[in-house]
Amino acid sequence: MDNKIKIFVDSCVILTAVADEKSKSAKLLCKCKQGDFLCFVSSQIIEECKNKLYKYPEYLKKFDELLCSLKQVKVSDDDIKKYDTIKDINDRHVLAGAANCNADYIVTEAFFE
């Protein structure tokens, strides 16, 4: 059984890592790539990143390379509905994804401020 720390990463972490290879986000995802942590994303997060990166094709290759080191967890509409008490509707899928992969941590922009 794998006892590695499980981290669910939000889109802002991925986008920051793609745009700035020296950022803390990039360092974290590098640790995931090296196998120090298990990092998870959802299809919703992948789509969110693609929607923001389509204007910047120079970053798409880096994004695709990063995806190879991330594990994808399924998040259904029913999973998201479990978190309807969360005020910000855009945060619900993040919590659902973290719960579905039994994440030890959720990493988002606030983590690095």
Query: pLDDT tens digit string along 39-96?
Result: 999 999 999 999 999 888 889 989 999 999 999 999 999 999 999 998 988 889 999 9
Q: How far apart are alpha carbons 33 and 105 in whole angstroms?
A: 17
HEC secondary structure over 85-102 = CCCCHHHHHHHHHHHHCC
Q: Where are the beta strands (DSSP E) in 28-99?
A: 38-42, 71-73
Instruction: Give domain status of residue 93, yes or no.
Output: yes
Domain containing 81 — which CATH number? Answer: 3.40.50.1010
Global pTM? 0.89
DSSP three-state, residue 85: coil
Expressed as residue numbers, the domain containing 94 is 6-110
How many separate domains does the chain show?
Answer: 1
